[in-house]
Amino acid sequence: MFCYQCEEAAKGCGCTVKGVCGKEESTAALQDCLIYSIKGLSLRNIEARKTGKDNQAAGPLIAESLFAALTNVNFDNERLYGLITDAIAIRDSLPTEGCTHDACTWRPKTIADAIQKGTETGVLATENEDVRSLRELLVYGLKGVGAYYYHVVALGYQNDGVTRFMEEALASTLTDLSVDEMVAIVLKCGEIGVKVLENLDTANTTAYGNPEITPVATAPGTNPGILITGHDLKDLDELLIQTEGTGVDVYTHGEMLPAHAYPVLKKYPHLIGNYGGSWPHQKKEFESFNGPILVTTNCLVPPAESYIDRVYTTGPTGFTGVTHIPEAKEGMKDFSALIAHAKTCTPPTDISVKADGYTDTLTIGCAHHAVLSIADAVVDAVKQGQIRKFVVMAGCDGRQKEREYYTEFAKALPKDVVILTAGCAKYRYNNLDLGTIGGIPRVIDAGQCNDCYSLVLIAQALAEAFETDLNSLPVSYNIAWYEQKAVLVLLSLLHLGVQNITLGPKLPAFISPAVLNVLVENFGIRANTTVEEDLKLMA
Ligand code: SF4
Ligand code: SF3
């Protein structure tokens, strides 16, 4: 196997035996085969569209497949093979004219055939290092698009511009393009990223209301509970409805924390609080939670034997041996098995941190609507010098020790600097008692990585208020990345023209020296160094 799509790629180069994430060689091959299959499907659907014979089912399946191949989503070979055969079935319902590429005609008879195909068509099938780098950068950006679009579709929306771009971009990787052409598609992916994030913001706020600034408890109550993690708000909504009046409480974990800020979700008294931190702590925190855990999207850490029977997956996630809650044919998904399971479990063990310098209440909900409603106060604080600088510290958390950099960086920031964040990166500093400036929290938490669009709107509103452009604002970017949604957010920032982004803890292994050169020369991208050096540059 060869996989280098995430920040934790082995030795900073790529995983070749088994993923650091726990992905087996066969699973890596099936994910590569799935990507190859949706490339063939895309090519056929683009050709079919020319005669009005395209298949509308292709777009959602492509999005789901891209999501399933994102880091820490699906470790279940049978489910991945199911997606491959679904993609091929749609592909083969389309006309064959103009499609002779192997990806458009190949068919597996068994899962072993698919594993073999994945082995032949994976990352290393492209020999030229720079072409490979640009193709993979595009595919990883597309995995981000697919993931965000999956949520858009789940909430009943669609955007043909997004699905057509996914198809065109996937198909483009089967052809020989010049470096300039490939760079142009990569940047276009960033433009589509902004669009899909905007669509998701509209879908979420229409369904659940605009997030409000909300304190969230981290200490558990005394009833048995269900822990829900990942990014899918619709799953949480349906779980809250079904647990109402059952005596079973609901807690959020990881990227589900921002759900507490939505009016439609926070109204449930049995949505008690947030339990634990970000995904790398799952083994310890899922163990001590004592009750069932619903994993809706990334990140899933391969569960330990001691609690694997309490883990349930749904949506694009999967793990062999874990119960999967399927889509509903109509109405809501059925979470009754989790509720019955919870009733047999003891309440969660309290692991909230109660120590000087820390807070056991997390302040969330600083999305665009809430922040723009106090925009005058923010602008005044900047004009009066109470806020001298903003540092965007959005992105992902990860398990490596070097991520302590972000805690130390947050602690060391001067008191007149405000952090803007979104994504699970915030767990490195969101329980530090960093205080407020004139009532404005020093950690402005816009929500999930899915909510990065809020940060864009906030930055654009500041630029308008100060009659300047994004790069002339007192805003610097110290982004932590791990998986491919973060790759898309980065491409989106580049599309918006943001310069001088600092990226860490390591630069992507899939960026070749020549491609890095393009990013440095055109956008001033740099790797983080030490807290001391980076503070001089950014704060
Ligand atoms: Fe390795 Fe990351 Fe790929 Fe997992 S997703 S196999 S950790 S590079
Ligand atoms: Fe986190 Fe997995 Fe990226 Fe949504 S949950 S930000 S890593």
Closest CA to 313 of 304, 190, 303, 260: 303
Biggest alpha carbon distance in the chain? 69
Q: Is the CB of 483 under 6 A from ligand 1?
A: no
Atom of ligand 2 nearest to the CA of 230: 5
Q: What's the Cα-to-Cα distance from 472 to each of 20, 371, 437, 466, rounded to whole Å? A: 40, 20, 22, 9
Q: Is the pLDDT of residue 223 over 90?
A: yes
CB-based contact 456:496 (threshold 8 Å)? yes
Ligand 1 pocket, residue 122 CB under 6 Å:
no
The pLDDT of residue 98: 84
Determine the distance separating the centroid of ligand 1 and the alpha carbon of 300, expressed in angstroms: 13
State which of 424, 452, 487 you would mutate to test the pocket of ligand 2, scoring each by most atoms of that ligand within 8 A of its C-beta: 424
* Annotated binding-site positions for hybrid [4Fe-2O-2S] cluster: 231, 255, 299, 396, 424, 449, 483, 485
Is residue 259 a contact partner of residue 238, using CB atoms and an 8 Å limit?
Answer: no
User: Between vectors from CA 22 to CA 16 and to CA 25, what angle results, nearest 5°?
Assistant: 40
Q: Which ligand 2 atom is the nearest neighbour of the CA of 423?
A: 6
Helix intervals (H) in 425-499: 452-465, 484-495
Instruction: Give per-residue pLDDT as tens, 256-290.
Output: 999 999 999 999 999 999 999 999 999 999 999 99
Radius of gyration (C-alpha) of the chain in whole angstroms = 22
Place of tokens 């998904």: 333
Q: Residue 222 contacts by C-beta under 8 Å, 6 or more apart in sequence?
A: 347
What is the percent of the chain with per-residue pLDDT over 70, rounded to a whole number? 100
Cis peptide before 505 (omega within 30 of 0): yes
> How many angstroms separate the CA atoms of 362 and 464, rounded?
30
Residues with Cβ < 8 Å from 521, sequence gap 6 or more?
none
- Of the candidates 242, 357, 239, 212, the residue with the CA atom closest to the CA atom of residue 295: 239
Q: Which residues pair with 311 in a beta bridge?
A: 293
Q: What is the pTM of this model?
A: 0.98
Task: Give pLDDT tens digits for 169-218.
Answer: 999 999 999 999 999 999 999 999 999 999 999 999 999 999 999 999 99
What secondary structure letter does DSSP report for 395? B
Residue 344's CB: how many other CB atoms inside 10 A? 9
Rounded CA-CA distance 40/37 in Å is 5
Query: What Å distances lie between residue 159 and 315, 431, 457, CA to CA?
Result: 20, 38, 21
Which amino acid is it at 142?
Answer: L
Which amino acids are annotated as binding site, given as ranges? 3, 6, 15, 21, 231, 255, 299, 396, 424, 449, 483, 485
CA 158 to chain centre: 19
For helices 179-208 and 160-172, what crossing angle results, to 10°?
150
List, in order, residues 6 or more apart from 513 with CB less than 8 Å away. none
Q: Which ligand is nearest to the CA of 481?
A: 2
Task: Out of 2, 5, 124, give the residue to mutate to test ligand 1, the one with the largest number of ligand atoms within 8 Å of its CB.
Answer: 5
How many A from CA of 13 to the centre of ligand 1?
Answer: 10
ipTM of the complex in this document:
0.99
Which atom from ligand 1 is nearest to the alpha carbon of 6?
Answer: 2
- Sign of torsion, CA 198 199 203 204? negative
Ligand closest to 31 (CA) is: 1
- φ and ψ at residue 479, rounded to 5 degrees: -90, 135
Confidence of residue 118 (pLDDT cuts 50, 70, 90): very high
Distance CA 277, CA 505 (A): 19
Q: Whose CA is nearest to atom 7 of ligand 2?
A: 396
Mean of pLDDT values over 306-310? 98
What does the DSSP 8-state code read for residue 472? Answer: G
Q: Is 135 exposed, middle or buried (0-12, 13-18, 19+ CB in 10 A)?
A: buried
Question: What's the confidence (pLDDT) of residue 312?
Answer: 98
Nearest atom (ligand 2) to Cα of 279: 5
* Mean pLDDT confidence for 49-71: 97
140 lines ligand 1 (CB under 6 A): no
Asked if 371 contacts 447 with a C-beta cutoff of 8 angstroms, the reply is no
Mean pLDDT of 135-149: 98
Each residue's pLDDT tens digit, 322-337: 999 999 999 999 999 9
| Mean pLDDT rounded to a whole number for the chain | 97
| Residue ranges around ligand 2 (CB below 6 Å) | 72, 254-255, 279, 298-299, 396-397, 423-424, 448-449, 482-483, 485-486
pLDDT band at residue 403 using 50, 70 and 90 as cut-offs: very high
Closest CA to 395 of 275, 259, 256, 255: 255
Per the annotation, binding residues for [4Fe-4S] cluster are: 3, 6, 15, 21
**Which ligand is in closest contact with the Cα of 2?**
1
| 3-class DSSP state of 272 | strand
**Once rounded to an integer, what is the mean pLDDT over residues 422-450?**
96
With the most atoms of ligand 1 within 8 angstroms of its CB, the residue from 2, 30, 71 to mutate is 71
Distance CA 336, CA 83 (A): 26
Residues 100-128 have a mean pLDDT of: 97
Q: b/e map of 76-107 (b: 16 or more CB within 10 Å)? A: bbebbbebbebbbebbeebeeeebeeebbebe
If you measure from the C-alpha of residue 397 to the centroid of ligand 2, how many angstroms do you get, rounded to a whole number?
6
Return the ligand 2 atom nearest residue 481 CA: 3
Q: What is the pLDDT of residues 22-41, one digit of tens each?
A: 999 999 999 999 999 999 99
Which DSSP string do the residues of 497-510 spell out, in sequence order? T---EEEESS--TT
